[in-house]
């Protein structure tokens, strides 16, 4: 949007989806070594991300932008330590 001869403004919105990999969904246990286990979570949901951007350009030289990003259902790997069995479990 042209505000004046020297100032130009714009707005942008993007929604994206990221689906979990098969290895994240695999519920079976596999061993990295004798003391480390990795397991997936079959109940994971896709991650939806909304991105908002507002910007302005002055004299085609200076650009100022402000953005906001919001994600829903982020996927995190959680390490759990089992001291009684000397096992470290990585779960999603």
**86 occurs within a structural domain:** yes
Q: Quick one: 11 exposed, middle or buried, by C-beta within 10 A (0-12, 13-18, 19+)?
A: exposed
Count structural domains, the chain. 1
**59 occurs within a structural domain:** yes
pTM: 0.70
Which residue matches tokens 């002055």? 58
**Structural domain boundaries, residue 70:** 7-91
Q: Quote the tokens at residue 12.
A: 């942008």
pLDDT at 18 (0 to 100): 93
**13 occurs within a structural domain:** yes
**1 occurs within a structural domain:** no
pLDDT digits (tens, 9 = 90+) for 70-90: 999 888 888 989 888 889 988
Selected residue with higher pLDDT from 13 and 84: 13
**20 occurs within a structural domain:** yes
**39 occurs within a structural domain:** yes
pLDDT digits (tens, 9 = 90+) for 14-44: 999 999 888 888 888 888 888 899 888 888 9
**2 occurs within a structural domain:** no
């Amino acid at each position: 949007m042209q505000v004046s001869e020297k100032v130009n403004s714009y707005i942008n919105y993007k929604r994206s989806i990221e689906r979990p990999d098969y290895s994240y969904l695999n519920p079976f246990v596999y061993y990295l070594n004798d003391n480390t286990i990795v397991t997936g979570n079959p109940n994971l949901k896709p991650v939806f991300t909304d991105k908002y951007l507002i910007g302005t350009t002055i004299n085609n030289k200076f650009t100022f932008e402000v953005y906001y990003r919001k994600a829903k259902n982020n996927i995190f790997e959680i390490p759990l330590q089992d001291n009684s069995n000397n096992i470290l479990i990585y779960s999603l």
